[in-house]
Amino acid sequence: MKNVFLTVLLLCVATTLSFAQAAPMRRRQPAPTVGVVSTPVNPGFSGTKNTAVPLEQRSEAMNRRREPVTKRFVLASVKFETNRAVLTPEAKITIKAIAAKINNYDYKLITIEGHSDSTGSMAANNALSKARAKSVFDELAKNGINKSNMRYKGFGSTMHIDTNNTRAGRERNRRVEIFVE
């Protein structure tokens, strides 16, 4: 009896998951594979008012995440030195590969978003996340992406995707994301 119950439960879960994954999405081209990490987007708004990043920018960023035709690169393998915006040699290699992928798309706009963990002051995190996004912007430009089609923004720690209470969570929150529209 116990095995029958578990079997039925597993079938229900599997059916639910297959329906959840079957939602149609419009894509211009197949999703990129180089430098992409599939992570659920949890912007982490806690309901507290954060005036460091204007509400319009946060709303625009959330809309970017809902748009099904947008290509999203989460640069999880792109690491920066602590409290610095200097790209490592490994990060430059990753960005070069992503630039090659982006050049295959028919795009109008590329938005580069910098994010940080909540360690340090809000002002320092906003400045650091913007500087890191600018570093990626410059590296993409060096690799053939037209600057006039790109923009960059820093969001500090306002859009975290994981907890800031653990080392691993803070590391996931320190990231740069590229949206190709």
Band of residue 76 on the pLDDT scale cut at 50, 70, 90: confident
This model's pTM is above 0.75: no
User: What angle do the packed helices 89-102 and 122-142 form, to 10 degrees?
Assistant: 60
Q: Is the pLDDT of residue 10 over 50?
A: no
At a CB cut-off of 8 Å and minimum separation 6, what does 29 contact? 104, 105
Q: Is the pLDDT of residue 23 over 50?
A: no
Q: Which of 61-75, 88-102, 137-151 has the lowest mean pLDDT?
A: 61-75
What is the rounded CA–CA span in Å between residue 42 and residue 9? 28
Burial 165-178 (b: 16+ CB within 10 A, else e): eeeeebebbbbbbb
**Domains of the chain by start residue, with CATH:** 25-180 (3.30.1330.60)
Q: Is the pLDDT of residue 25 over 60?
A: no
pLDDT for position 179: 92
The separation between CA 151 and the C-alpha centre of its own chain, rounded to angstroms, equals 15
pLDDT for position 111: 94
